[in-house]
Structure 1
Amino acid sequence: METVPGTAVLTPAAPAPAAPPAVPSVHVRAIITWLAIFPLVALGMMASAPLTEGWHPVFKALTLTLVVVPTAVYLVVPRMMRAHASLAGRRGGRS
């Protein structure tokens, strides 16, 4: 196939890559994290109170955080971040 000088060959343009989702501000992330941690700590304190009644407060905090932190980091906060992203997307991306 020969090309004639001065003619352009048109090829279909590749679709533009999708923009990555906007990361919420540090303030929004702090609020979301607090909203995840506070209820977990409150429920954990009430649930563990009968079992840890005579324990030193440091050991109570240790056992509570051993449960609350992984639960928040791996389960609750990611779900809340997805929910926030979904809501922010519906409102036009404001976060």
Structure 2
Amino acid sequence: MTHPTSNPRTAQPGPPSKHQLALMIWLAVFPTLLALNFALGDWLSTLTPVVRTFVLATIAVPIVIYGLMPQLHRLRRRLLTRIASR
């Protein structure tokens, strides 16, 4: 009997390499910070750099970790599965 993961068409890709993960994080963090700066720029400009950074991190980290990274992991898995099935 064949194990389901031994078939390359059904095998799930492994975890991302550190380079893939770095790219995924950059793809999630940069647009998030850009959007937050555009949306909150006027208000943030009145804050000190430390407080401004704290506010941005407090808003951006949950967006990236709970919203964007799972989507990017799914997209990566779908792309790698599609490539492997060719």
Q: Which has the higher contact order (CA 8 A, sep 6+)?
A: 2
The runs of 4+ residues in structure 1 deviating greater than 4 Å are none
Unpaired runs of 5+ in structure 1?
A: 1-12
Q: 1:53 aligns with which of 33, 45, 48?
A: 45
Q: Which has the higher helix share?
A: 2
Residue in structure 2 matched with residue 16 of structure 1 by the alignment: 3
Residue in structure 1 matched with residue 21 of structure 2 by the alignment: 29
Unpaired runs of 5+ in structure 2?
A: 6-10
User: TM-score, normalized by length of structure 1?
Assistant: 0.75
SS at match of 1:23: coil
Aligned length: 80
Note the C-alpha offset of 1:52.
2.2
SS at match of 2:84: coil
What fraction of aligned residue pairs are identical, expressed as a percent?
Answer: 29
Matched, 1:86 2:78: yes
Per-residue CA deviations over 1:65-94 (Å, capped at 9, x if unaligned) read 10101110111011111101100111118x
